[in-house]
Amino acid sequence: MSWSNTLKGELPNEKLLLLPRGFEVIGDIAILNLLPSLSDEKHLIAQTLVSHSKNIKVVLLKKNKLAGEKRIAEFEILIGDRTTTLHRENGCVFHVDIAKTYFSGKMYFERDRIVQKVNDGEDVLVLFCGVGPFLIPIRKKKDVRIIGLDNNPAACLLFRKNAEQNNIEAEIILGDANSVGAIFKKKFDRIVIPTPYGQDRFLNLARPLLKPGGTVHFYTFKKDFEIPHFKRLLEEMGWDIDYYRDCGCVAPRVSRYVFDLKEK
């Protein structure tokens, strides 16, 4: 049921037009992005959401944009008393603390797509690994060696907990992705880089860690009209673009894109 239908009669028409088209759900937590002009109605909107979605127990209001390499935002709890949840995806379970770690439920398709690309026997590295949503399903479904790097201690702790929960082995390193060249002395068949907004430099930093014939899955944020230039730039840098796609809009005309890259 649409927002306009669930809240019709509760809000004036001019307010209904300001409602977001949807909301993100992680586990049993719904995350709302509301315009400031709807602040007086935020509790009514949250209560209506819970009343019409039996699986949602907590509603959080996002107060600002993600900040820093840890990609943490501030939230106001509108309904409930926690920011932790258990999220199920791709046959795995993940303990998540939305207030302390970055997690996007919208990336489930991409995470499953990468699993299908991985071959047994690979060495796989994920930078900005978070609580393990890329690596855990890979290790659960493929016979590989996995390493995750993140500079957020809370994320690393939850990754370890999630590895145990899903009965898999993983090497988890608390460290700065700016220092990957010093941290890792081995090379990898596959590197996944879900970069923070505006930090494309990590593609070049991770490049020396790629084995000959290996693949990088590089995630970046771009405006739609920037993609042709970015593709040319990648090719000039010596990358073959195996595949790319729009992974979803994050702001007006701005989407997250993935590029599957191999060295020429």
Length of the chain: 264
Quote the CA–CA distance of 32 and 7 in Å, as a whole number.
15
**Nearest-5° Cα angle at 60, 54 to 64:** 150
| Closest C-alpha to 226, from 206, 202, 200 | 200
pLDDT of residue 11: 87
Neighbouring residues of 253: CB distance < 8 A, sequence distance ≥ 6: 223, 224, 225
Quote the CA–CA distance of 162 and 146 in Å, as a whole number.
14
Q: Tell me which of 35-44, 55-64, 67-76 is least confident.
A: 67-76
Per residue in 200-244, pLDDT (tens digit) is: 999 999 999 999 999 999 999 999 999 999 999 999 999 999 999
Question: pTM, whole model, 2 decimals?
Answer: 0.92
pLDDT of residue 47: 93
pLDDT of residue 97: 97
Q: pLDDT confidence of 119, banded at 50, 70, 90? A: very high
pLDDT average, residue stretch 156-168: 97
pLDDT of residue 68: 53
Q: pLDDT confidence of 136, banded at 50, 70, 90? A: very high
φ/ψ of 40, rounded to 5, equals: -70, -20
List, in order of start, the domains of the chain with CATH numbers: 3-82 (3.30.300.110), 104-263 (3.40.50.150)
Q: pLDDT confidence of 156, banded at 50, 70, 90? A: very high
C-beta of residue 197 within 8 angstroms of C-beta of residue 222: no
